[in-house]
Amino acid sequence: MAGEIILRPDAEAMPDFLAPADTDANDSGRVAPDDNDNHSGKLRWSQRRTMVVLIVVDVLLVALVVWLQVTRQTYQPGSSGTPDVMTEPRTQSIAKSAIGIASQWGEVLDPEINEIIIVRWVDESTDTYQAFDLKQNKELWAMSQVDVAAVFATGGKLVVSMNGSIDIIDARDGKTDLTVPLGGDEKLVAAQSGIILTVREDESSICARALLSPDECVWQANVMSDQTVARIFAGSQLVDTGDGVLDFVTGRPVAFGADVMETKDHAVYYVGPSPERVLRYTSQTDSAGLSQSQYQLWDTQNDRALSDAIPGDEVVADATGSTFIITDLPGLRDLRIGAYSWTAGEQLWQTSLDTNNYSGSLCGNMFVATTWLNSTSPDQVVAIDLGSGEQVFSTEGYVLVFGQRMAYLQTGGFAALLTAYDCGQADFPALWSVSLSSRADRLYGAAGHLVAVSPYSGGVWVLNP
């Protein structure tokens, strides 16, 4: 589609959006979002599901297609600049869509420089970007591009792939620093920690380029398999590849992980929130199609196991706590949740939930998860005390984003409330609640701020303490 679509701040009165809510935040009689509400805030490690944030971040990553499975820092509470807002926030409108109609969707990108955010609107084949300085409360620049294949924000830059090339755009002024041509079968699949990853489909090879000088590969490696390019983990410091575990920045092999491999029946790879906290994952599928998977704590210096094998499907962990979570689904509506010590991998407690699906995070003293049985069932949020394994909270709704100590939930059914819960207190209390304009609204943690985006109205709001 030709033509530019530019978004500008609107001086109109702020709509009835993010206004203080009178609804009791602990009321459980709510209607959950319908199937049109996706679970974009749900992050976990999984061999069953490709993470989209994927570099969904998010962030798990639409641009990654099905090839790149990524374990990013986004699974760590608060790692994406999400603040813990303990008191009811002041809300400030900073943008309104100039399109006059709703975009298909909108998201907030964090270029990791000062207090700058980039709002990305997508409407059919057109991407429109607006950059804002939240400290000075002003728009810095705006631009539109068509036929964008992938986009990332990192290191003060916006990295955009389109028309067989990569543009490196300065987040502060919107000017293109560099344009790098790609081969006909080469695709941009990631950009973080000063590195841009591209992949050549015909050669099944990865090219890692330096963000500030991307003309040549800093390092190269084979992809893990036809289904998976690589898995980035340990706070974006390490990466599983077809050549084993490598340092993500230099591409040098590390002291462990030479056995990384993946076929349709067998897989070995490594995950973890930091280079000091790593688990080895293995899975085996038999002739009947039944899969068994397990984790082990791993000594990254001596390349050996530090614990017995722990059966499980998914792991939830962070870089600072003493406990990590492993979940398994041995039967229908039987999600088993086990807490384990980072010291020796011993089990501390185990509980179960009547559900088939979940996404969760460690938050303060809690394991907080959004659960759902199927695409039409209501979402449920549960909080489990990390010390005792006791479920201390449950309500209909789902988690939008996590801070270090706060969990921000969408609750209230059609009332669409944003409610903040304190993961640091034993009873997981609600501290404040404000109204959203619709259930399609999304909340992001970026540049140390809470930012809400409404694709229906084209509005962007900052929630300041």
Q: Is the pLDDT of residue 408 over 50?
A: yes
Helix/strand/coil percentages in the chain, nearest 5: 0, 50, 45
Residues 6+ apart with CB under 8 A from 297: 278, 279, 305, 306, 307, 342, 344, 345
Res 290: pLDDT: 85
Task: Read off the pLDDT of each residue in 100-119 and give the average, rounded to a whole number.
Answer: 84
Over the stretch 436-456, which tens digit does the pLDDT of each residue have? 888 788 999 999 999 999 887
Task: Read off the pLDDT of each residue in 244-256 and give the average, rounded to a whole number.
Answer: 98
Task: Produce one character per residue of 227-249: b if its CB has 16 or more CB atoms within 10 Å, e if not.
Answer: ebbbbbbbbbbbbbbbbbbbebb
The mean predicted confidence, pLDDT, of the chain is 82
Domain segments of the chain as ranges: 62-464
Task: Read off the pLDDT of each residue in 230-238 and give the average, rounded to a whole number.
Answer: 96
Task: Read off the pLDDT of each residue in 205-227 and give the average, rounded to a whole number.
Answer: 95
**Weakest mean pLDDT among 70-84, 139-153, 219-233, 294-308:** 70-84
Look at 248 and 55; give whichever has higher pLDDT.
Answer: 248
Task: Read off the pLDDT of each residue in 48-68 and give the average, rounded to a whole number.
Answer: 31
**Weakest mean pLDDT among 211-220, 401-410, 413-422:** 413-422
Task: Read off the pLDDT of each residue in 206-217 and give the average, rounded to a whole number.
Answer: 96
**Weakest mean pLDDT among 4-18, 126-140, 203-217:** 4-18
Q: pLDDT-derived band of residue 202, with 50, 70 and 90 as boundaries?
A: confident
Res 102: pLDDT: 56
- Measure the CA–CA gap between 441 and 400, rounded to whole angstroms: 10
Q: What tokens does 289 get?
A: 């199609």
Q: What percent of the chain has pLDDT over 70?
A: 81
Res 185: pLDDT: 87
Q: pLDDT-derived band of residue 307, with 50, 70 and 90 as boundaries?
A: very high
Q: pLDDT-derived band of residue 31, with 50, 70 and 90 as boundaries?
A: very low
Fold entry, domain 62-464? Methylamine Dehydrogenase; Chain H (2.130.10)
